[in-house]
Amino acid sequence: MQRLRDRNGGGRRIRALLIGTSLVLSTVSAGAAEPALVTPTMKLPGQLLKPVEPHPDVTTMEIRAAEGLTNDTTAGEITAALFNAKPAGASVDFSGRGLKHLDLSELDFKGARLTRSDVFGTDLTKANLAKTDLAGARLDRTVLTFANFAGANLEGATLMRPTIYSDLRSDWREAPVFDNANLRGVRLTGRIDGTSFKGADLSGLDFSPHEPRADISFLPRNFCRGCRFDGATLAGANFDDASLAMASFAGANLSGARLTRTDLSRVDFTGADVTGVDFAGADLADADLRQVKGLESAKGLGLALNLERALR
């Protein structure tokens, strides 16, 4: 516990204390005994995870820090919670928890709640996260080899520079699955070649290398070569400067998406809706644009490379 301020004024004393990542404010009348904060035990369905002991120095209102969550859960406690919840058919709630740098490989999280959780640097190799709620979660630098996110809700989450492969051979068969998942507004960067997003909603996805106040020439390119977006919704998605070579957008909705300076060589757009898509500077070598919808309203085709090879 760190004392931040203890100020007298108006016959009442205002006290601020920092406990972990919680800023706790309390007001106590001058000369009065300070009441103890009775903090309820923090529970997960089916598992007592971590009791929070009452602290004699604090009262009333807690303001949780939005950034820099520290771990408040161990891998062993997570495993026990998941194991105990399954027989009862209960779902486990890890919302808002700090789960950073843990080994959670091969665990079954199906149906669990992890909204706004901080999973930075955690190993999720072969983990089953199907139909989990990860809205607003931080999944940066996670290990996602063979991970299953089918039907999961990741709206507004961040996946910055995840590790997809177990070694330098970059075997696409090890890539994670996000089929039919909700990835609306997700911020995604890194090398995720071979990942499947079939039937997923990626509206507003940002897969561009742009960072505020950064020189784009020094930012690494994002790679999603051979990725499957068949039947996916990508309205308004941003793939600027990415490499999507050999990807498939068959039957996908790309209306209003940005594909400027994107490597689209050998991409399959069969039956895709490209209404309003910006292709300026994109490389369309051997891409298939012959059966797309809305091509007449697409932007930047005159500035695209190898367009004639995509239309023959």
Q: Report how far apart, in Å, the C-alpha atoms of 139 and of each of 132, 160, 201, 215, 224 are.
A: 13, 7, 18, 24, 18
In terms of pLDDT, which residue wins out, 254 or 38?
A: 254
As a whole-number percent, the residues of the chain with pLDDT over 70 amount to 73
pLDDT at residue number 219? 59
Instruction: Give dist(CA 96, CA 68) in Å, integer.
Output: 11
pLDDT at residue number 63? 25
Cβ burial of 219 (10 Å; 0-12, 13-18, 19+) is middle
- pLDDT over 60 (residue 281): yes
Q: In what order do the strands lie in the sheet with 22-29?
A: 2-9, 12-19, 22-29, 61-64
pLDDT at residue number 211? 58
Instruction: Give dist(CA 40, CA 51) in Å, integer.
Output: 8
Q: Locate 161 and state its tokens.
A: 């520079």
Q: Where are the chain's structural domains?
A: 2-64
Mean pLDDT, residues 102-110 taken together: 97
Mean pLDDT, residues 99-113 taken together: 96
Within the chain, how many helices (H) and strands (E) appear? 2, 8
In terms of pLDDT, which residue wins out, 4 or 100?
A: 100
- pLDDT over 90 (residue 73): no
Structure confidence at residue 70 as a pLDDT band (50, 70, 90): low
Q: Report how far apart, in Å, the C-alpha atoms of 251 and of each of 50, 155, 277 are.
A: 48, 22, 15
- pLDDT over 50 (residue 19): no
Q: Which residues pair with 14 in a beta bridge?
A: 7, 27
Asked if 255 and 272 touch (Cβ cutoff 8 Å), the reply is no
- pLDDT over 70 (residue 207): yes
- pLDDT over 80 (residue 75): yes
- 252 contact partners, CB below 8 Å, separation of at least 6: 229, 230, 231, 232, 233, 234, 272, 273
The greatest distance separating any two alpha carbons of the chain, rounded to the nearest whole angstrom, comes to: 87
Mean pLDDT of the chain, nearest integer? 80
Mean pLDDT, residues 251-266 taken together: 98
Instruction: Give dist(CA 144, CA 225) in Å, integer.
Output: 17
- pLDDT over 70 (residue 165): yes
As a whole-number percent, the residues of the chain with pLDDT over 90 amount to 65
